[in-house]
Structure 1
Amino acid sequence: MLPPSGGHGEENRPRRGYNRDGRLGARRSRVLDERRNVPTLGGCTGGVPPCVGGVPPCARYTWGARPKQTRRTHTLDTLARSDWRVGEGISGVELGVGRRARRAYGFDEVALVPGAVTISPDDVDIAFRMTGPDGRQLVLPVPLWGSAMDGVVDVDFAIAMGRLGGLAVLNLDGIHTRYEDSAPVVRQIADAGRDEVNQVLKDAYRSPVREDLIVRCIERIKAAGVPCAVSSAPAHAGRRARLVEEAGADVLVVQGTVLTARHESSGYEQLAFDELCGAVSIPIVVGNAVSYGTALELMEQGISGILVGIGPGAACTTRGVLGVGVPQVTATADVAAARDEHEARTGRRVAVITDGGMRIGADVCKAIAAGADGVMVGSPLAGAEESASRGFNWGMATPDPNLPRGTRIHVGVRATLAEIVQGPARVDDGTQNFAGALRSSLGVCGAHDLREFQRVEMVIAPSISSEGKLLQRSQAVGMGT
């Protein structure tokens, strides 16, 4: 461990659980206890400023009136990027002569430290908040988003999720906007054998997307009185934005494997995110990103939210195919640092949504503690009785005709959607009652809301899931499943 910068007494010794560099990502630059000169858990060395009751299980959400803020844009050049190099000054690990890498962390390698004051779970606020370009605020009682995966989200699922206080994203490039009745197509994919499923997927996605079905799906969701979020590939987002806004959608997600504010291509023109955000009044959420600099540039385009994660999902194979990705705790911390810097400079907060890699309630809690304002999950919801495929899931890049980067997986039907989101849980392995787990974690850590929870102390603890759990693991119960 690095020695403390001052003093040699017991109060100045580094806490156990910190790695050598003492860092999780760019965001964790805060001294965790100002009374003790302990090393920070992580941070950008460029001087990043410090980060800044029960909810009924229903579909209540509000677009609260907010005073309009003057949007100020900052180009990458004016941000003095040389002062904000993430990891500058960190020794890292030597890969070879002249090549080093910094350590990154996933959910199984960290843990949260209880607070000095605890709070009743009934008295904490876990609501998700995101401000749109017109200053109105979208508030969700539960900070849980359903991934835009055809095996999970159809119109009926989106309605059910909204009624539980979350938000499910409908994939506009998927099955449900290509067929009048998508259920038989989804069932065909679920029933296909292992050797034939890739071809079945490619055949299913050959039918064209129909704009009349896009409008019809959005209108059905809105007619149920719940918020509507839809997702589009960047290639189609520009021409669809006005269509989905006029149909009544509340949020447009522009999603690809990796999205950047700057993209070079000799074959087509890049989507201009600043123009897209200025063309509609609904929030634009983009993704995915995993790094500080990329996230900061995207935020400067006027987006309202950003998705974090490359390849962590259970049905995604991007990391195996491309070798690209950053573990989710570090990725979330880095993107959250960009959010805090952007907010400090402009007064506008961009919602950070950790996308994928979460299986149990503890993962959801750690994602938000690392800096997320909300989380997006797919496979945990695919196991709901209400899911589109009833227990199957496949990644959005699975049907790619040239380079599939996903696979179909079987998760099985495990519970109702209500049990997964709001409980009560019928099992003890953390796969149900995500909202209850989050409320309890906030209470134990002494946080009244998610922004306070983003300031809790975290430790590097790779033994957190195995310590003392030998019998659970040998009997495949509880944390051993």
Structure 2
Amino acid sequence: MGMWIGRNRKARVSYGFDEIALVPGRITINPNEVNTTWKLPRRDQEPLEFEIPILASAMDGVVNVNFAIQMSKLGGLAVLNLEGVQTRYKNPDEVLQKIVETDKSEVTGLLQKIYTEPVQEELIAARVRQLKDAGAIAAVSSIPQKAERFGAIAQEAGADVFVIQSTVSTVEHISTEYESLDLRKFCQNMRIPVIVGNTVTYEVTLAIMECGPAGVLIGVGPGAACTSRGVLGLGVPQVTATVDCAAARDAYFKKSSRYVP
């Protein structure tokens, strides 16, 4: 399959949501009777159940504590970034307001200054407790390099879900600057569900699922605010990525009898 893009090199055509349409089937369903609930498996417990299949991105510009609480009440899931302003500052709203009020010509320097402030580990636990005290499902995230430390703190504080987030997720990561995360070991040691992302290929998705996460995030660069494709030239159009990764999920389920959303 595919077409030649140069000497000895082929590429296949991939598709995004703007390039396809769904063909209507032979049966229609009343929208009020459509069930959109989904479940996230938990070890030795009943799965977490969500009414709507929407996950709010772990970005400072999207999720704060109040947003996560409201999202949870509506039946969705919002992920709080443990390396953003929420855990660097006791009063993050003041910092965010300063960003809003700053002139565009000066905002880059301000952002650089804001994110040089270190993460305060006591605020990780505090934010998780805020979510739990409000009756919300507490989902938090970090990059792989911080996952073991921040995951332990969040879990101890009562977090329900831990997300390992990176631009591109793989089981094998090469670095001479730090010790790479052992994903299989991490998933085994965590008592709460672990979600890993992002991935866009069949092979990598299958390899990640074999490490034991409760869920996998699909997509590199599809978001409106994401610059991965434009800046780095990385990614796969979302429809093709979803279809390929769903095939990996089905293959893994057939092999293990464990369904990974």
Normalised by the size of structure 2, how large is the TM-score?
A: 0.97
- Aligned length in residues: 261
Match of 1:256 among 154, 166, 175: 166
Cα deviations by residue, 1:68-109 (Å, 9 ceiling, x for unpaired): xxxxxxxxxxxxxxxxxxxxxx1x111112111000000011
Q: What is the Cα deviation at residue 133 of structure 1? A: 3.3
Q: What is the Cα deviation at residue 213 of structure 1? A: 0.8
Please tell me the residue identity of whatever aligns with 2:170.
Answer: T
Please tell me the residue identity of whatever aligns with 2:49.
Answer: V
1:289 equivalent in structure 2: 199
Match of 2:34 among 124, 142, 148: 124
Over aligned residues, Cα RMSD in angstroms?
A: 1.2
SS in 1 for 2:63: coil
1:103 equivalent in structure 2: 13
1:213 correspondence with 2:123:
yes
1:191 equivalent in structure 2: 101
SS in 2 for 1:122: helix
Q: What is the Cα deviation at residue 338 of structure 1? A: 0.7
1:54 equivalent in structure 2: none
Match of 2:59 among 149, 171, 177: 149
- Any unmatched runs of 5+ in structure 1? 1-89, 352-481
Write out aligned runs for 1:48-447 (5 A).
Answer: 90=1, 92-134=2-44, 136-351=46-261
Percent identity at matched positions? 49
1:15 equivalent in structure 2: none
Contact 1:163 1:226 in 2 (8 A): yes
Contact 1:274 1:302 in 2 (8 A): yes
Larger relative contact order (C-alpha < 8 A, sep ≥ 6)? 1
Contact 1:171 1:231 in 2 (8 A): yes
Q: What is the Cα deviation at residue 119 of structure 1? A: 1.6
SS in 2 for 1:115: coil
Distance across 1 between alignment mates of 2:101 and 2:237: 32
Q: What is the Cα deviation at residue 190 of structure 1? A: 2.1
Contact 1:233 1:256 in 2 (8 A): yes
Please tell me the residue identity of whatever aligns with 1:180.
Answer: K
Choose between structure 1 and 2: higher helix proportion.
Answer: 2
Cα deviations by residue, 1:417-452 (Å, 9 ceiling, x for unpaired): xxxxxxxxxxxxxxxxxxxxxxxxxxxxxxxxxxxx
Contact 1:133 1:302 in 2 (8 A): no
Contact 1:133 1:277 in 2 (8 A): no
Contact 1:155 1:170 in 2 (8 A): yes
Instruction: Report the more deviating stretch, 131-140 or 108-117.
Output: 131-140
SS in 2 for 1:112: coil
Write out aligned runs for 1:447-466 (5 A).
Answer: none
Please tell me the residue identity of whatever aligns with 1:199.
Answer: G
SS in 2 for 1:222: helix
Please tell me the residue identity of whatever aligns with 1:110.
Answer: I
Q: What is the Cα deviation at residue 135 of structure 1? A: 5.2
Distance across 2 between alignment mates of 1:146 and 1:97: 42
Cα deviations by residue, 1:47-81 (Å, 9 ceiling, x for unpaired): xxxxxxxxxxxxxxxxxxxxxxxxxxxxxxxxxxx
Normalised by the size of structure 1, how large is the TM-score?
A: 0.53
Distance across 2 between alignment mates of 1:121 and 1:289: 31
Distance across 2 between alignment mates of 1:313 and 1:119: 29
Please tell me the residue identity of whatever aligns with 1:139.
Answer: E
- Any unmatched runs of 5+ in structure 2? none
Distance across 2 between alignment mates of 1:286 and 1:174: 18
Please tell me the residue identity of whatever aligns with 1:136.
Answer: E
Distance across 1 between alignment mates of 2:117 and 2:56: 25
Contact 1:133 1:304 in 2 (8 A): no
Please tell me the residue identity of whatever aligns with 1:335.
Answer: C
Q: What is the Cα deviation at residue 311 of structure 1? A: 1.7
SS in 2 for 1:111: coil
